[in-house]
Chains A and B, each alone.
Chain A
Amino acid sequence: MCNTCGCSITPGNRPLVLAEKPRDGVSTVTVLKNLSSKNDRQAEHNRAHFDRHGVLVVNLMSSPGSGKTALLEATIKRLAGSLKIAVIEGDLETENDARRIQALGVTAFQITTGTACHLDAHLVHNALHQMDLTNLDVLFIENVGNLVCPASFDLGHHRNVILLSVTEGDDKPAKYPVMFRAADLMLISKTDLLPYLDDFSPNRAQQSLRNLASKAPVLELSAHQPQNLDVWINWLHDALKTHRRQLANHQTQRPAIARDDVLLHGEASLRLRPVMPESTRP
């Protein structure tokens, strides 16, 4: 990819770009602009807002039922007294998840998306108008349970954490490469059930992720075994420390995959190919 000038001509698309031929009476404009620019602009706005408050924002993604809310409940209990947490919940309907979090004394805002299968930067921005980020350390965004669409939307967050529960297939990363490539951390959840399942192998799950050339760490845990949460809690503390250090240097963090995107699909480069109108041709 072109890292130097921020343009979007990559070795992959260069032959296609150079192959353009002008046609009579028609001007060709080469645009090379990322198509989710509206969402991405809003996401950058959200990120700047989070950074002003020094909050680390973690986007939790997985299939429905892999234990995102249970993990948040266990995490909140473990971090009580050490880190101040808030949660944005995304579901199609009901405020059930937000209530579960609020029952632990933590601020939670529920976004109900109606029929939309993912959160986007605008929905998160609207939620932020209802939330006070002052003195907050970590904001979790529990995305809609879905391994497809949420991967395509930057919310302005800093880290992507993807759960894969042992009751699913261990080949999920191979089936949903767009989602799992976005992981900064993959959590294999519900490991307390492993003794009852003979068809899930944590090693195969990890290999399936490695096949995507992902270097993201893989941790195994169960929300019902608080003693196994240490590695996850340590990861959170480290991520927050790194985030605060970068903020002190006036830098921000983006999920690993979004950093690539900024380089690959940066600003629009516009150039006009001069085409003479037919009437003026010799």
Chain B
Amino acid sequence: MHELSLCDDLLGQVLALGRQHQARSIVGITVHVGGLSGVEPMLLATAFEICRVGTLAEQARLVLEPIPVRVHCNHCGIESETPNNHLQCPVCQSPDTDMVSGDELILARVELDTACV
């Protein structure tokens, strides 16, 4: 259960951005959660409910966008989506693939209320 510490990191970054842009409040936060990021989106959402209290992000909407696992096949060159535990090329069955996306945990976007600045 390290979603709470990740959430702490998330809020730290978001609040720093808010201060930097002199925002009145944080409106929305978008996080990309890859299928192989090792993070459970529901736990992250719960942790956010706890962490945001009393901060500039108290009213913020947290959007967790799932990022599917995609691999590029070094044999046939085709890029495909795969299940989390089967990263071989689904087209030619080659095991020689590189992950293109799916293990990221990224703070993608922050929406700030800066209307009066």
* Residues in chain A within 8 A of chain B (CB atoms): 1, 8, 10-13, 16-17, 20, 23, 25-39, 117-118, 120, 148-149, 151-153, 173-175, 177-178, 181, 210-213, 257, 260-261, 264-265, 272, 275, 277-279
Contacts and interface: CB of A to CB of B under 8 A. Distances in A.
B108 A26 contact: no
A174 B79 CA distance: 21
Contacts of A29: 17, 21, 109-112
28 contacts: A8-B104, A12-B101, A13-B104, A13-B106, A25-B113, A26-B28, A26-B113, A28-B110, A29-B17, A29-B21, A30-B108, A31-B13, A31-B106, A31-B108, A32-B108, A33-B13, A35-B106, A36-B9, A149-B2, A178-B36, A178-B38, A178-B103, A181-B36, A211-B85, A211-B86, A213-B99, A275-B114, A277-B117
B111 A23 contact: yes
Nearest to A276: B115
Contacts of A264: 101, 103-104
B1 A12 contact: no
A146 B65 CA distance: 27
Contacts of B2: 117-118, 149, 152-153
Interface in B69-117: 70-71, 79, 84-88, 95-117
Nearest to B102: A12
Contacts, number: 156
B106 A212 contact: no
Contact of A13 (B23, B67, B110): B67
A51 B67 CA distance: 35
B31 interface: yes
Contacts of A39: 9
Counting chain B residues whose Cβ lies within 8 A of the other chain, the interface size class is 35 or more
Interface in B9-43: 9-10, 12-13, 17, 21, 23, 27-28, 31-32, 36-39
Given A13-B32, A26-B111, A213 B13 contact: no
Determine the main DSSP class of B at the interface with A: mixed
A13 B108 contact: yes
Contacts of B37: 152, 178
Contacts of B103: 178, 181, 257, 260-261, 264
A16 B108 contact: yes
A10 B37 CA distance: 15
B65 to A, nearest CB: 6
A153 B6 CA distance: 11
Contacts of B65: 16
A39 B37 CA distance: 15
B92 to A, nearest CB: 13
Nearest to B116: A277
Given A26-B114, A178-B38, A265 B9 contact: no
Nearest to B25: A26
A43 to B, nearest CB: 13
B95 A8 contact: no
Contacts of B39: 152
Contact of B32 (A11, A16, A178): A16
A31 B104 contact: no
